Structure 1
Amino acid sequence: MTGARTHDSAGIGIIGSGISGLQLALRLQQLGVAATLYSAQTAEELGSTRPRNFPARFAPTQAREETLGVHAWQHDDARVHSWAITIHGEDADLEFTAALRPPSSVVDFRLYLPHLLDEFIRRGGDVRTGPVAVDEVGRRHGLVVVANGDRSMRDLFPVDAARSPYPTPQRILCSGFYHGIREDVPHRLDIHFLPGIGEILRIPFLSRLGPAHVLAFEAVPGGPLEPPAHLDAAADPDGFHREVLRLLAAYAPGLRERVDTAGFGLVAPDELAQGGVTPAVRKGWARLADGTCALAIGDAWITNDPLTAQGANLGSHTAFALADLIASADGPFDAAFCRDASARLWEHARHVVEWSNAFLAPPPPHVLGLFGRAAGDRQVADAFVSRFHDPVAMWGVLSSPEGVDSFVKSCT
């Protein structure tokens, strides 16, 4: 670790204790850059909320955690080793399985985030807990980084319409931690693509209450998968579970057959997330009232639908990239620095955004063709699923027929 260096004694103010804010704080700490983390919640409070998301962390994110010395839960109860993919069709279903190498890490963020926050504090990190005003943080620091996508921060970074094609949620979500589902193959994820209807996913996951299954409905708005998102599972658990099982029987019958009806249910009444996510890219930086500049990362900057499982991984990548830019900067953290930093972060992020947005639309013929090749060739299937580790390479494949052709040739 190098000696502490800052552009002024105030250092960097980081607002938000999600993966982006915490990894940025830890990385700056490692690089010797003074930073203060502003968290709305204590570590204990971060671990006691309802679930908000169910992130898979791919190999590059895990490697960054190794660099930070915070990579934990290195056992199979917290890993996904393979995927089973079904694309449902009118005449026949297209199915294939594939290995995910290396495996992804699937840990409840109510375990993960407190672990990172506690480690930052243990290493001497400065944490301020409670409500915070961004202008007040700006008066204390040479640069503010906002990694908190709460409504209180959204006015500061308006939506960038040119990079945000969807004005409303493209999926209505209902995801929760369940027990009572049998795994045919241990540590395998199931995903069912239902064109025009949405997606159903089952993911083995390490929840704060122990090993569980995430069962997620991603419903096209107004479609038949949407009803569970509007039911009160705590008020009428039997009715909620009946509706979930009805939809599984209708749209993922193979998965329904693996459910033990008597033992099926949420692991606890509040272990459920419901709602919609509007994919959006916001302006990447802003000038505060006193002239201090604020950069947006994480949910303050980009919100992706969770279908491609890239949100946490993009947050981690952005945190490390920004830490390097801050640590190597020679001049002030002014508008020129923020404009350049945001542009450089977008060079990677745009691939994630374009891929995630494209996956919400019906697949074009060249992507359907790739799925067909994957169903007939395990090498193609394994290579395709493992591309989820690298969104830049993945979008290079999926964005054009030429990309698919080149990818298939490289596999065979």
Structure 2
Amino acid sequence: MLNFMAKNCEMKSASEVINVNSPQIMEEWERRVVKEIPAASISSNLALRNQLPNVLEDIAEIIERYDGSIDMESHEEYDEIIKNSLDHGRHRATSSNYTVKQILREYVIFHRVLTETLIEKEVYTKEVGIILKYTMETAMLTSASSFTDSLQEMREKLIGTLAHDIRNPISAAYFALDVIGLDDDKERIENLKAMGLRSLKKSLDLVEGLLDAISVKAGEGITLNFEEIDILKEIKWVSNEASEIYTNEIILESKEDEIRGVFDGTAIRRVVENLVTNAVKYGSRKHAIVISLENSESEVVIKVHNDGNPITEENQADIFKFLNRGKEPQNVGLESWGMGLTLVKSVAQAHGGSVDLESNEDHGTTFSILLKKHENKPGKIRTELNYSEN
């Protein structure tokens, strides 16, 4: 009994040292990680630490309430450290240049800094060391597994979205070729031929993106190809195609005849197509879908508006998130929007812009995409998938 009480006292002392010295532990960990891990050197302090302060707090609590059992998987009190290390791995999957090896290295450094602190404060014991080792191993395995699972989820979603988008232009090209008759006049044949060629070209552009998605790494999205173009021409293409496909009236509003800048035309078309499709799917069938453009010297804003049931404020906060949080049940309503909105955000950010959402009972739903005209030089870049709670 006395021996148990003495060990219990030792555990509380070690836990207190961790809590009191938490800022110093994190600072020392951060200093070493930035020095030893390449990907860490380009992250902000807040992004770098991510869930690790929470993991540290979890470790202190586990040590304090140690009752002789270290079977984490069968004890609810260990759920938090598993959840926080899982979130840490998912965050790293959306941070550029990270690898499993670097994540494991982060935890090795974390373990060493924590052990050195406990030894320096003279509270390190055999039991403390065993618990620390076990908790770190659990956190390492959870984070590494979460990281690899998240990368696989990225690839599957990117490939699935791109593959889905390829169907429409291929179907359009097939239709154009199928309806050509031997007795058709020259003008009709030329129009159908042009339609088929446009659709096949679009398919080839998407196939290239599909191949890129297969090799996606941490923090990466699709590859964009920037060139000097008239973006209004691309939006008109989407508007005309949507008018032929959907029963809703599609209205295009622009005060300009031409809006030039350095854009990825294929990506912008896909973004607007995605928003129009969602507007038709979730909006009112009785009202028009309005695509409008607001042009300035350095920026263009593309808006897609629909009437109908609004998106709730709670869902507005989550709708652009890329990865599902943890292993909680998915929100079926949000999931049905697909990966498209994440790509909308990713494409906007690659153009130096942003996406805004306004949705309420009185005014319907409007997605606004701000794009900077000359943020990029002509050429290819890989987009980033940013992990964000906002």
Measured against the shorter chain, the TM-score band is: under 0.3
More strand by share: 1
* Structure number with bigger Rg: 2
